[in-house]
């Protein structure tokens, strides 16, 4: 999944040499792999009660 995320980021035009590129790809992979983690992150972002 991480490679798929990296490829998607590059296809969207994000250069692979910027700081944080790998972290963004890892976060995308976590969202795909762990639904509980993803739900917690969505709540933090959207301020779920």
User: Residue 43 has what pLDDT?
Assistant: 73
pLDDT in tens, 7-36: 988 999 999 899 889 888 888 888 778 777
pLDDT value, residue 38: 73
CA distance 4 to 31: 13
For 1-49, what is the HEC assignment?
CHHHHHHHHHHCCCCCCCCCHHHHHHHHHHHHHCHHHHHHHHHHHHCCC
Better-predicted residue by pLDDT, 7 or 1? 7
**Cβ 10 vs Cβ 4: under 8 Å:** no
Q: Say whether pLDDT at 49 is over 90.
A: no
Question: Whole-structure pTM over 0.85, yes or no?
Answer: no
**2, 5, 37 from 44: Cα distances, Å:** 23, 22, 11
Q: Is the pLDDT at 39 greater than 80, yes or no?
A: no
């Amino acid at each position: 999944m991480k490679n798929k995320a990296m490829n998607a980021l590059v296809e969207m035009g994000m250069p692979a040499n910027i700081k944080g590129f790998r972290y963004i790809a890892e976060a995308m992979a976590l969202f795909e792999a762990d639904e509980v983690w993803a739900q917690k992150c969505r709540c933090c972002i959207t301020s779920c009660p």
